[in-house]
Homo-oligomer: A and B are copies of this chain.
Amino acid sequence: MSKPSTLASLVVDAIQSVVGSSAVLHEPRFNGNEWKYLKECLDSTFVSSVGKFVDRFESDLAAYTGAKHVVAVVNGTSALHVALQMAGVKPDDEVLIPALTFVATANAVNYCGAIPHFVDSEERTLGIGPQALREYLQDVTETRNGQCVNKATGRVIRALVPMHTFGHPVDIEGVMAVTRDFHLALVEDAAESLGSTYQGHHMGTFGLVGALSFNGNKIITTGGGGAIITNDPVLAKRAKHLTTTAKIPHGWDYVHDKVGYNYRLPNINAALGCAQLEQLVGILEAKRRLFERYQDSFSKISQVSIMVEPVGCMSNYWLQTLVLDDFSADQKNAVLTATNDAGLMTRPAWMLMHRLEPYLKCPKMELPVAESLEQRLINLPSSDYLL
């Protein structure tokens, strides 16, 4: 008599039926002008922080996202660090961020000398749930001098940073209403959501400022890279200044008027980015097809579902995500082990921020949805070339 199929073995079969016998989690392909642009970059000798590909990458990103201004930087973390400063985040402020996010969101707040304040997610988007957040802020904050103050800590809550998890847009209209009503700056962590839109508008363009990432595991890559996007020309100018060591332009003098950063994206990485961005539309189509195949393949397993873009949104489907139902959460580790043992790279969501050593003592709301999702989300092999 054959052993009854476990959920783990069913998941292995379902993934294999889509991607074949083995697959990594996410990997880029360089099938466009990468090679040509890198050569042009080397031949120009401008490989560093000044050069035509940096300028072009910025204007290409502006054209693609619809943001009026783009400042290219060394990675998504640095983009977020500077974006928070643009939004006025100062030492001893609090900043609302999701508990369910990559650690860079919390670290960027920390780099500003500010304190992350953790917010719950909603199941529908995996991101910040505006209704629960609104009720929480009504309870724990009050307005003083036009600022949102945490009554328990006495600190100003300066900003709210939604993150579009695995490429799925949050309920950005709901989030914007919260930021308006509670006097919070809106900074979008759009590191995972290049190519994702809400009602046709690109993520990262709803807030005061947004941060993109082009790390090696992202939907397009520059090796390492990121960008600050904004519609505000004054903020854009300030971001450019801060990311280029706050040097005052001059033919030869070296005068810096602020504590700046060496965050400018090198031209050679931007060259890669220009070539990758040219292929983004095709990558998005391939990722959507992969989503459809996974959805079909997993429709036969009743305990799980594949994460679907929220209504009114287009997700870039950066990482395909399996959602276990409440009764199967205890199977998560078995599924992770079986899939990885089978050569199918999968991974769980990040450990929630409030349980990481450096952030144990930070303020937080109740996090029932994030804590449940943490036990039930598994990212599947998601490279665009898999189909």
| Contact flag A74-B74 (CB < 8 Å), given A224-B49, A254-B103 | yes
Contact A47 B107 (CB under 8 A): no
What mask results when residues 241 to 275 of chain A are scored 1 for a CB within 8 Å of chain B, else 0? 00001110001111111111110111111001000
- Main secondary structure, interface of A, reads loop
Q: Which residues of chain A in 261-300 are interfacial with respect to chain B, using CB atoms and an 8 Å cutoff?
A: 261-262, 264-269, 272
A38 contact set on B, CB distance < 8 A:
38, 42
Which residue of chain B is the closest to A339 with respect to CB atoms?
B252
A30 contact set on B, CB distance < 8 A:
42, 45, 47
A231 contact set on B, CB distance < 8 A:
none
A256 contact set on B, CB distance < 8 A:
103, 351, 356-358
In the assembled complex, the CB of A340 is this many whole angstroms from the nearest CB of chain B, namely 6
What mask results when residues 104 to 146 of chain A are scored 1 for a CB within 8 Å of chain B, else 0? 1001001101000000000000000000000000000000000
Contact B75 A268 (CB under 8 A): no
Query: Count of chain A residues with Cβ under 8 Å from any Cβ of B?
Result: 67
Q: Which segment of A5-13, A148-156, A342-350 sits at the interface?
A: A342-350
Contact B253 A351 (CB under 8 A): yes
How many copies of this protein are present in the complex?
2
The answer to whether the Cβ of A28 comes within 8 Å of any Cβ in the partner chain is yes
Q: Tell me the bound Cα distance from A212 to B228 in angstroms.
A: 27
| Contact flag A346-B252 (CB < 8 Å), given A47-B28, A268-B269 | yes
Q: Which residues of chain A in 183-229 are interfacial with respect to chain B, using CB atoms and an 8 Å cutoff?
A: 215-217, 221-224
Which residue of chain B is the closest to A276 with respect to CB atoms?
B47
Contact B34 A107 (CB under 8 A): no
A267 contact set on B, CB distance < 8 A:
216, 223
In the assembled complex, the CB of A45 is this many whole angstroms from the nearest CB of chain B, namely 5
The answer to whether the Cβ of A237 comes within 8 Å of any Cβ in the partner chain is no
Contact B351 A261 (CB under 8 A): no
A381 contact set on B, CB distance < 8 A:
none
The answer to whether the Cβ of A39 comes within 8 Å of any Cβ in the partner chain is yes
The answer to whether the Cβ of A35 comes within 8 Å of any Cβ in the partner chain is yes
What mask results when residues 72 to 92 of chain A are scored 1 for a CB within 8 Å of chain B, else 0? 001111100000000000000
In the assembled complex, the CB of A161 is this many whole angstroms from the nearest CB of chain B, namely 16
Contact A272 B47 (CB under 8 A): yes
A254 contact set on B, CB distance < 8 A:
102-103, 347-351
The answer to whether the Cβ of A22 comes within 8 Å of any Cβ in the partner chain is no
The answer to whether the Cβ of A21 comes within 8 Å of any Cβ in the partner chain is no
Contact A48 B258 (CB under 8 A): no
The answer to whether the Cβ of A163 comes within 8 Å of any Cβ in the partner chain is no
A35 contact set on B, CB distance < 8 A:
39, 42
A347 contact set on B, CB distance < 8 A:
252-254
Which residue of chain B is the closest to A258 with respect to CB atoms?
B358
Q: Nearest 8 A-B pairs (CB), nearest first?
A: A48-B216, A223-B266, A77-B262, A252-B347, A223-B268, A254-B350, A224-B266, A47-B223
Besides the known contacts A76-B262, A104-B245, A110-B259, 5 further A-B residue pairs in the complex with CB atoms under 8 A apart: A29-B45, A224-B262, A252-B340, A254-B347, A268-B269
